[in-house]
Amino acid sequence: MVQLDDPMIGEALDDGAPLPRMSFGDHLDELRKRVIRSLIAIVVAVCAVFPFKTQVQGIVIEPYRTQWRIGFTEYVTNLQAEKDSGALEGDELGLKYLEFCVTEKDKIFEGGFRWSYSMKQHTGYPVPYNLYATGGLEDFLSFMWVAFTFALILASPVVIWQIWSFIAAGLYKHERKVFLRYFPFMILLVAAGVGFGYRFALPYSLGFLIGMMDPTMVGALFSVSQFLSLLFMTTAAMGVVFQVPLVMLALQKVGLVRHKAFIKHWRMTILIMFMVSAIFTPPEPVSMLMMSTPMMLLYGLGLVLTGMGQKNEAPLPEVK
């Protein structure tokens, strides 16, 4: 039986030489070994994350807090403008709200205000400072999911290495080189997409949704599970979207699409981008634009990359 512990197995073989063959049972045994090692790494990472519940939750809800700070700043500015124009004259509660907001704003933004759960009563700002748990187990179950996600990120070097070790044994030397050449860029683009969704797409999408509500009739209230669903949907979608240049380059390399075809069908491509954005984002225009705009910019980057590589384009497959 051939062991696949070394992902570079077959390094000494020529690209044309046959690769070592394994039986179906050997493949299953090898896969089981890789899965067990990956699971052990994930379990260890989960145990490492668990003691830091407060810090982990702080990272997760930061996009919500970002949106809250943007809306709160606008709210205080509007209150100050009303006071300057005399609209708050005789409104003791409004003046009280404004005085508190101006006095405590810096402390609130720095996270040093002790009574954050009663912020709405102190400021009059209708958007809650904290997320809410609608059930007794919602916060715990949500944290379990978040802890697993963080653990998966921490354990990703081990998991990726195990996946690569299993796959690399079935690849020729030149195929491994191609994969290793583009894999770092794939990881970089995924990280950039997730970061964009976390820092920009989600906060401004939330701001638009909240801005559509009339606080005299409908109050904004986000549960932990709802927010996490929106967070993971947005960041995962952005991580995939940012792969557009590499997908275009891969299609060109294998000869399925040429550079000229990417240019010729740009209108249809943009239409498809808007359709995909509408499917994978909340039903409002800001989220759709936050997703489609990077897609169009990345499509432009893909055109540059395919344009640089068009001299080495693979021949189109023959149609029989």
Which pLDDT score, from 0 to 100, does residue 111 have? 80
Q: Tokens 């005299």 sit at which residue?
A: 216
Torsions phi, psi of 293, nearest 5? -60, -50
pTM over 0.85: no
Which pLDDT score, from 0 to 100, does residue 100 have? 92
pLDDT digits (tens, 9 = 90+) for 272-316: 888 877 776 666 677 778 778 888 898 898 888 888 877 766 665
Q: Please state, in angstroms and rounded to a whole number, the distance separating the CA atoms of residues 43 and 50.
A: 11
Based on the fold, state whether residues 186 and 276 are members of the same structural domain. Answer: yes
Q: What percent of the chain has pLDDT over 70?
A: 87
**Residue 133, domain member (yes or no):** no
Based on the fold, state whether residues 177 and 283 are members of the same structural domain. Answer: yes
For residue 16, the SS3 value is coil
**Residue 94, domain member (yes or no):** yes
Mean pLDDT of 76-102: 90
Based on the fold, state whether residues 114 and 208 are members of the same structural domain. Answer: no
- pLDDT value at 21 more than 70: no
**Residue 13, domain member (yes or no):** no
Q: Please state, in angstroms and rounded to a whole number, the distance separating the CA atoms of residues 38 and 273.
A: 35
**Residue 199, domain member (yes or no):** yes
For residue 223, the SS3 value is strand
**Residue 95, domain member (yes or no):** yes
Q: Please state, in angstroms and rounded to a whole number, the distance separating the CA atoms of residues 54 and 52.
A: 6
Q: Please state, in angstroms and rounded to a whole number, the distance separating the CA atoms of residues 170 and 10.
A: 9
Calculate helix-pair angle for 53-60, 138-168, nearest 10 degrees.
80
Based on the fold, state whether residues 112 and 178 are members of the same structural domain. Answer: no
The range of the structural domain enclosing residue 296 comes to: 171-312
Torsions phi, psi of 202, nearest 5? -70, -50
Torsions phi, psi of 100, nearest 5? -65, -45
Mean pLDDT of 157-176: 78
Based on the fold, state whether residues 182 and 119 are members of the same structural domain. Answer: no
- Per the structure, the count of domains in the chain is 2
**Residue 145, domain member (yes or no):** no
- pLDDT value at 89 more than 80: yes
**Residue 119, domain member (yes or no):** yes
Based on the fold, state whether residues 109 and 190 are members of the same structural domain. Answer: no
Which pLDDT score, from 0 to 100, does residue 312 have? 67
Which pLDDT score, from 0 to 100, does residue 309 have? 75
With cut-offs at 50, 70 and 90, classify the pLDDT of residue 230.
confident
Mean pLDDT of 222-237: 85
Which pLDDT score, from 0 to 100, does residue 1 have? 39
With cut-offs at 50, 70 and 90, classify the pLDDT of residue 73.
very high
CA 106 to chain centre: 29
Residue 14 DSSP label: -
Mean pLDDT of 38-63: 88
Q: Which of 106, 123, 140 represents a domain boundary (last residue)?
A: 123
Based on the fold, state whether residues 298 and 187 are members of the same structural domain. Answer: yes
**Residue 136, domain member (yes or no):** no
Q: Please state, in angstroms and rounded to a whole number, the distance separating the CA atoms of residues 155 and 151.
A: 6
9 backbone φψ class: left, alpha, beta (φ>0; ψ -120 to 50): beta
Q: What is the mean pLDDT of the chain?
A: 81
Q: What percent of the chain has pLDDT over 90?
A: 8
Q: At 200, list the tokens.
A: 């920009």
